[in-house]
């Protein structure tokens, strides 16, 4: 397995923080800044990129230097260029890890990789969320206790229209009476994907110690064990054994 | 569960048969005709639709009367209209079953629902394929022996770039030395999907008794237990329990 | 698939009801009686068997007439004879369906089939449980709304030490702050298994309309599509193709 | 994740090598010796233990120093003490990794953890096996090409009566016409399990470079990210939130 640290790129829509002073007060360096800072605490170097940069900061060159991409989007999913989405998707198929956060269940890139629309029931009344660890021995849960709380948070409730995940890591309990699969892994091509539910822009979720630990663990887990090259292609293969009777 | 028989629609690209006399000789009623005839043998009524009909024969009205859609495509995947693909995809998310055959691993609709490009290694030298039943108690394998052979067939070999299937039903052995996951189920939204590998246009695969049994079984398995209405949408949900401390 | 109705056998420890008048008041015909009555409402014939019958009512002859076995146990798991457990296990491997209820997560037969000890966190304070449907199109969820409530119920909380289930059907929210995977399917050999959490002996859970619907659905789902004969054995198989160069 | 190297214990029945001079000629240091030597090549320290040592070399003290246990057995499964099997099983539930090799599909410890009898079809005619990589990005497949061959090997063929694996890593093609799932992962409690098919005692399989790479990869993958303590127990948990209306 890889010895070197994963090269992480944190992508953020970065619109709320520039338009809404309440969000800016919580995330003065942007949500991407808070996430990168949390990774730094856990010994991971991370670069950042945002929607309004050229090519959304997701050029071929930028992706070529990325082992794991973290994605946060919410109000501007439609502004993400389809060509960039496809570029990211092909890089995931080729082995890059992807961590989709919170409302990124509705991001083009996540829905394209899942095949479904990943719809969910939601409520932004600000309530208590308690994340229970279902897979205590999974690398993504390393160092956590049996559960941790976030308060307040937005609610996402089942049914959550994702394909059956490969592994279920977290289940969330909400004060208002709902539950949701809040930490799920998927494989697409050679790439490992982790969806993690928390992180509404109006709450300081990405400063939370448990959340930061989860994200650092997830970056290490999603980092490819292979050299990321090209997405697989349909290929003619010659017979190894003689054909015919 | 449903008591009534599933309403099956068999969709075929129907280009090989009209251009290539060798294919026409094997499938004088088209591949769709041979499949529908096989379902009839097993007591299932099936309608058919083809690429060159208006809206590819996949109008809203046609889909509204379809519980299970069987799909065969090969040389004209690009000619399928994106709007029709999206219409079919939303119907699957709403509960319609989908059976993707052979080279339809490369069809827009299948790739959209899987999220990957479903690439595979292939060889059309005409060789023996032996399908082994991995899940002998699965409804799709009902009535089959431990294995069955098709000769000649095209080869598809691993790695087959699909997401990890929910269930693995068949594994294929090929004379030339390859293996592939040749019968796989997936869930996408409320819809059940079955991928079945055999069926090259130059071989009489869809007249084979075992293949016909598999397809009839799969139609019954994929038929929804629910009324198919609309694909799920993101929805606000009120709290059931009181929020706040 | 099978046209005939599944032959269901409802097995109950039947100790609480005979020792504790409070339980007897809730289940005057025993828990097995209440379950069988609920199946009858849904058009399923069910026989019953209890721990203190000869061979616990699970003779070879009784099992030979059983397509689906429902199991409820709690305080007397240790009194179940190992030879009977093994007999039931082999019948499951041969194709019989098994539905394990509530504290039967700790029953010998369930633990033997799972491989783990299926330990869980619990609390019998009597609180509200709300079961959310995670897989709305699954046959076991047919006819249910998005969630249903049981109050009061015992609490079971994650981590629940089961192997990763094949399919996750229900998730439970508990008033006291816990969640659990409360409806899970497994395959073992040719047999289909469903674990369903609710059903503490001091609460009238098995008279609940939604619970009864789930159990009836589960019996139909777990009923084998094959003739149940013998558990598979290690078997020498001759080569089909020539060996050697 | 763990930085330190996993402490590996290679367990071998060690009967064939002492009774059969043909086997001894292939494995003069025993199968366990050849496996340990192969791990050493990949930078992993491994101790060994064998059936005829006191407590089969699997004392509490020995297990307490083991992160990953490799198991090879064949003709003496019945001689393994049930108490030792249970000790190993509880250690796996507590987090120890387990790698079961070849005919260990029939070992008590593997069958106990799977819940099924793990029966398979087999043929020891000595034929070519080709292992195809189905999950090229999985850590267990790191450094391998698309396939590798072993010749001669024993054949194991589907249906292989294991529970559906968490992940399918390898599929084997056999010259005689069979296929089998030959590299499978499972989770049981906090422990990760890998089953790997090759390794008949009459063939020098454990000297093969690809096989050795797989085993080294698997030890690293199966090594726990947590401190291995005790298997989980049923536990009463107090309510976190207020109960009652």
- Window 148-167 of C: residues touching D by CB (8 A cutoff) are 155, 157, 159, 161, 163-164, 166
Q: Is residue A212 a contact partner of residue A42, using CB atoms and an 8 Å limit? A: yes
Provide the pLDDT for residue D245.
62
Chain B residues touching A167 at Cβ < 8 A: none
- Window 167-186 of D: residues touching B by CB (8 A cutoff) are 167-168, 171-174, 177-179, 181
Q: Is residue B220 a contact partner of residue B97, using CB atoms and an 8 Å limit? A: no
Question: Does the residue A94 lie in any domain?
Answer: yes
Q: What is the pLDDT of residues D186-227, one digit of tens each?
A: 999 999 999 999 999 999 999 999 999 999 999 999 999 999
Provide the pLDDT for residue A4.
77
Nearest to C1 by CA among B140, B109, A23, D51: B140
In Å, what is the CA distance from C233 to each residue of B198, D116, D117, D119, D169? 30, 11, 8, 5, 25
In Å, what is the CA distance from A59 to each residue of A78, A82, A91, B138? 18, 13, 11, 46
Q: What is the pTM of this model?
A: 0.98
Whether A171 and C171 lie within 8 Å, measured CB to CB: yes
Provide the pLDDT for residue C38.
98
Provide the pLDDT for residue D1.
45
Whether A192 and D137 lie within 8 Å, measured CB to CB: yes
Q: Which residue has the tokens 């939204």?
A: B189
How far does C171 lie from chain A, in Å, by closest CA? Answer: 7
How far does A78 lie from chain D, in Å, by closest CA? Answer: 31
Chain B residues touching A237 at Cβ < 8 A: 121-123, 155, 157, 178
Question: Does the residue B166 lie in any domain?
Answer: no
Provide the pLDDT for residue D2.
53
d(CA B95, CA D107): 43
Question: Does the residue B151 lie in any domain?
Answer: no
Residue A1 pLDDT greater than 60, yes or no: no
- Window 66-95 of C: residues touching D by CB (8 A cutoff) are 93
How far does B188 lie from chain D, in Å, by closest CA? Answer: 19
Phi then psi for residue C173, to 5 deg, are -100, 135
Residue A2 pLDDT greater than 70, yes or no: no
Residue A111 pLDDT greater than 80, yes or no: yes
Identify the residue among D108, D119, D163 best suited for mutation to test binding to C, counting C beta carbons within 10 A and taking the highest. Answer: D163
Provide the pLDDT for residue A13.
98
Chain A residues touching D190 at Cβ < 8 A: 136-137
Mean pLDDT of B232-245: 92
Q: What is the CATH number of the domain that holds C207?
A: 3.40.50.880
Quote the number of domains for chain A.
Answer: 1
Mean pLDDT of B227-232: 95
Provide the pLDDT for residue D3.
60
Provide the pLDDT for residue A225.
93
Provide the pLDDT for residue C214.
98
**Chains sharing 3 or more CB pairs under 8 A with chain D:** A, B, C
- Window 187-206 of D: residues touching A by CB (8 A cutoff) are 187, 189-192
Output the CA torsion D91→D94→D96→D102 (10° steps).
60
**Chains sharing 3 or more CB pairs under 8 A with chain C:** A, B, D
Chain C residues touching B135 at Cβ < 8 A: 187
Provide the pLDDT for residue A185.
98
How far does D192 lie from chain C, in Å, by closest CA? Answer: 11
How far does D174 lie from chain B, in Å, by closest CA? Answer: 8
The β-bridge relationship of strands A167-174 and A179-188 is: antiparallel
Q: What is the DSSP string of chain C?
A: ---SPP-EEEEE---HHHH-HHHHHH-TTHHHHHHHHHHHHTT--EEEEETTSGGGG--HHHHHT-SEEEEE-SS-GGGS-HHHHHHHHHHHHTT-EEEEEGGGGGSHHHHHHHSS----EEEEEEEEEEEEES-TTSGGGTT--SEEEEEEEEEEES---PPPPSEEEEEEEETTS-EEEEEEEEEETTEEEEEE----TTS-GGG-HHHHHHHHHHHHHHS-SS--------EE---SS----
Which residues are D50's β-sheet partners? D12
Question: Does the residue C12 lie in any domain?
Answer: yes
Provide the pLDDT for residue A130.
98
Residue B2 pLDDT greater than 60, yes or no: no
Q: Which residue has the tokens 């007397």?
A: C76
d(CA C164, CA C46): 30
Provide the pLDDT for residue D244.
77
- Tell me what the pLDDT averaged over chain A comes to: 97
Whether D179 and B177 lie within 8 Å, measured CB to CB: no
- Please give, one letter per residue, the 3-state secondary structure of C131-195: EEECCCCCHHHCCCCCEEEEEEEEEEECCCCCCCCCEEEEEEEECCCCEEEEEEEEEECCEEEEE
How far does C25 lie from chain B, in Å, by closest CA? Answer: 31
d(CA A140, CA A159): 23
Its domain, for residue D69, covers: 8-116+181-222
Provide the pLDDT for residue D243.
92
Chain B residues touching A93 at Cβ < 8 A: 116-117, 161
**Nearest residue of A to residue B92 by CA position?**
A116
Question: Does the residue B128 lie in any domain?
Answer: no
Q: Which residues contact B118 (CB under 8 A, 6 or more apart)?
A: B105, B106, B110, B111, B160, B161, B162
Q: pLDDT above 90 covers what percent of chain C? A: 97
- Window 100-119 of C: residues touching A by CB (8 A cutoff) are none
d(CA B48, CA B60): 15
Enter the tokens of residue B32.
């769709």
Whether B134 and D158 lie within 8 Å, measured CB to CB: yes
Question: Does the residue C189 lie in any domain?
Answer: yes
Output the CA torsion B143→B149→B152→B158 (10° steps).
100
Whether D226 and A142 lie within 8 Å, measured CB to CB: yes
Whether B142 and C225 lie within 8 Å, measured CB to CB: yes
Provide the pLDDT for residue C4.
77
Mean pLDDT of C208-228: 97
If one counts every other C-beta atom within 10 angstroms of the C-beta of residue B75, the result is: 13
Provide the pLDDT for residue B1.
45
Whether B158 and D133 lie within 8 Å, measured CB to CB: yes
Mean pLDDT of C155-173: 98
Whether B164 and D159 lie within 8 Å, measured CB to CB: no
Whether A137 and D95 lie within 8 Å, measured CB to CB: yes
pLDDT band (50, 70, 90) for residue D4:
confident
- Tell me what the pLDDT averaged over chain B comes to: 97
Q: What is the DSSP string of B144-195?
A: --SEEEEEEEEEEES---PPPPSEEEEEEEETTS-EEEEEEEEEETTEEEEE
Question: Does the residue B207 lie in any domain?
Answer: yes
In Å, what is the CA distance from A236 to each residue of A230, A232, A233, B13, B124? 17, 12, 10, 23, 9
Q: Cβ of C212 under 8 Å from any chain B Cβ?
A: no
Which of D135, D167, D224 lies at the smallest CB-CB distance from A137?
Answer: D224
Provide the pLDDT for residue C15.
98
Question: Does the residue D158 lie in any domain?
Answer: no
């Amino acid at each position: 397995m890889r010895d070197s640290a994963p090269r992480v790129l944190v992508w953020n829509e970065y619109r709320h923080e520039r338009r809404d002073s309440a969000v800016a007060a919580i995330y003065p360096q942007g949500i991407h800044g808070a996430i990168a800072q949390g990774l730094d605490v856990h010994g991971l170097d991370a670069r950042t990129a945002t929607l309004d940069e050229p090519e959304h900061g997701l050029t071929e060159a930028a992706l070529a230097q990325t082992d794991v991409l973290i994605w946060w989007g919410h109000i501007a999913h439609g502004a993400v260029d389809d060509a960039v989405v496809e570029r990211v998707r092909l890089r995931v198929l080729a082995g890059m890890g992807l961590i989709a956060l919170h409302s990124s269940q509705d991001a083009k890139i996540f829905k394209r990789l899942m095949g479904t629309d990943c719809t969910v029931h939601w409520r932004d009344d600000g309530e208590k969320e308690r994340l229970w660890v279902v897979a205590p021995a999974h690398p993504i849960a390393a160092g956590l206790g049996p559960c941790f709380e976030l308060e307040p948070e937005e609610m996402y409730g089942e049914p959550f229209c994702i394909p059956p995940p490969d592994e279920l890591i977290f289940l969330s309990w909400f004060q208002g009476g709902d539950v949701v699969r809040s930490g799920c892994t998927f494989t697409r091509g050679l790439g490992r994907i982790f969806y993690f539910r928390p992180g509404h822009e109006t709450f300081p979720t990405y400063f939370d110690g448990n959340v930061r630990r989860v994200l650092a663990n997830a970056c290490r887990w999603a980092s490819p064990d292979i050299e990321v090259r090209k997405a697989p292609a349909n290929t003619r293969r010659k017979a190894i054994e003689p054909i015919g009777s």
